[in-house]
A and B are shown apart, each in its own frame.
Chain A
Amino acid sequence: MTWPEHGITPDHPTAAWPGPGDAGVAPVEGEHETGRPPPREGAQRRAAARAFRPRRTVPATVTALLLALAALVTLIGAVAAATGANMRTVPWTSFADFGAGPVDDPAHLAVAGAAVVVGLFLLGLALVPGRTRVVPLASDDPSTVTGITERGLRRHLATVATAVDGVSRARVKLRRRVVHVRAVTPLRDPGDLPGEITEAVGGRLDALRPLKPMRVHVDVTHGGK
């Protein structure tokens, strides 16, 4: 039996996945690799990519609104033409004058160029999958897709880094496969602070099990409280 939504069989639980504790613990020179790739990771990744793909709600709303407006204007014009009534709501004569000019009129070229740009932009929005703002996480339940928003993950990992003794501030940036932590410490000699931060943030990442393994990179700078 295969889940229609996820392409994952429910008969293969994910017990073999690395737990929070058993992935690489020792940080190596500020770099930290999280868990081994779990089995069925590809299926989970594909399911997550499908589930978290952008819905294009904003461009669809704007386009639908403009399309409705254009159809209404056409409707008004057609009613005016059919009944012979003079509806002065839309400047039809200037439209007619515009259309009567030669093709290579600069105004025509400008409008045609803009139309091509707008049309290709809409096609791009439709055909490009788009970047998800969600980091997919491994799930113990094969029919569940789990993810955390990038902003949420950044905030949480910054909180984890700040909780390390000797860190006054921390900022987190997410690259494709690297979590970049910039911490500020009031200590003159940071000692093993980078290692401790790497361990704290890496340990939390191990517990979260992102489907794409992420390394932790830590920069510590000296600064006042």
Chain B
Amino acid sequence: MKNRPAAANRVGLVLVGLLPALAGAVTLVRALGLLGSPDAPLIPPEVAGFPAGRPWLWPAVIAGSLVVALLALYWLLVQGRLDTLRTLELEPDPSHGTTRVSAGAAAGALEDDLAEHVGGERARASLAGAPSDPRLAIVVVLPDQADPAVARQGVNGAVARLRRSLETDRLPATVRMHAVHRRM
């Protein structure tokens, strides 16, 4: 799965967006008189009277709204997390067992390496994706005098060193550089 939170956000926005768009469109079409009389009540009496004599309805609504509320809260919590990994499982052949490495330790080592070899104002690294197929995300903030082309080479070197120390050759990385104004 690539870029899970971003894809989930777009799916969620489609699902939530369809509801008001369709409800509003149906109401406007009904007001034009295309679906029955425009004088009919907004909520037809059959719908308003539906719960009467159906004792199972409200518990069902309670359960349904609880599920929606929990899903919405989960969606909210996922925003801050961005599927950061806890452990890496790096072994090209799973039949030889797995080697678990702490993702935080790997990211921390890379940040130290970046601070030493790239410099700059800040460097952040995090690992996301699946434990057996991790992806690396790096953010480097440079002073505006620093040459980003040089920084890119430094970052590539640091990523290569991390790959070597993890004994893996498949750690795709995304590097985002930014420059900030620094008063001399």
Contact = CB atoms under 8 A, between A and B. Distances in A.
Contacts, number: 255
Contacts of B172: 3, 5-6, 143-145
Nearest to B159: A144
Nearest to A126: B13
B168 to A, nearest CB: 11
B72 interface: yes
B152 A146 contact: yes
B161 to A, nearest CB: 12
B105 interface: no
Given A155-B144, A155-B179, A156-B144, A119 B171 contact: no
B41 A100 contact: yes
Given A149-B176, A155-B179, A4 B48 contact: no
Interface string A54-71: 111101110111011011
Contact of B21 (A52, A111, A120, A146): A120
A92 interface: no
Contacts of A147: 174-177
Nearest to A82: B58
Q: Which secondary structure characterizes the binding site on chain A?
A: helix
A109 to B, nearest CB: 6
Given A68-B69, A109-B28, A207-B147, A134 B176 contact: yes
Contacts of A114: 24
B31 A112 contact: yes
A36 interface: no
Contacts of B10: 56, 125-127
A26 interface: no
Contacts of A5: 2, 135, 172
Interface stretch (A27-35, A73-81, A177-185, A194-202): A73-81
Contacts of A50: 2-3
B41 A101 contact: yes
Contact of A152 (B5, B40, B148): B148
Tell me if B's interface is mostly helix, strand, loop or mixed.
helix
A98 B12 contact: no
A118 B25 CA distance: 12
A55 to B, nearest CB: 4
20 contacts: A55-B3, A55-B5, A56-B9, A60-B9, A64-B75, A67-B68, A79-B58, A81-B51, A81-B58, A100-B43, A102-B38, A108-B31, A108-B42, A116-B24, A118-B20, A123-B13, A126-B14, A141-B159, A143-B170, A208-B148
Interface of A: 3-6, 10, 20, 50-57, 59-61, 63-65, 67-68, 70-72, 74-75, 78-79, 81-82, 96, 98-105, 108-109, 111-123, 125-127, 134, 137, 139-141, 143-149, 151-153, 155-156, 158-159, 204, 207-209
Given A4-B133, A78-B58, A144-B175, 19 more contacts: A52-B176, A55-B3, A71-B66, A100-B48, A109-B27, A109-B28, A111-B24, A112-B24, A115-B20, A116-B28, A118-B20, A143-B173, A144-B159, A144-B172, A152-B177, A156-B179, A204-B149, A207-B147, A207-B149
Interface of B: 2-3, 5-6, 9-14, 16-25, 27-28, 30-31, 38-43, 48, 51, 58-59, 61-62, 65-66, 68-69, 72-73, 75-76, 79, 133, 135, 142, 144-149, 152-153, 155-156, 159-160, 169-181
Q: Which 10 A-B pairs have the closest CB atoms?
A: A119-B21, A122-B17, A115-B24, A82-B58, A71-B69, A99-B43, A152-B179, A116-B24, A112-B27, A126-B13
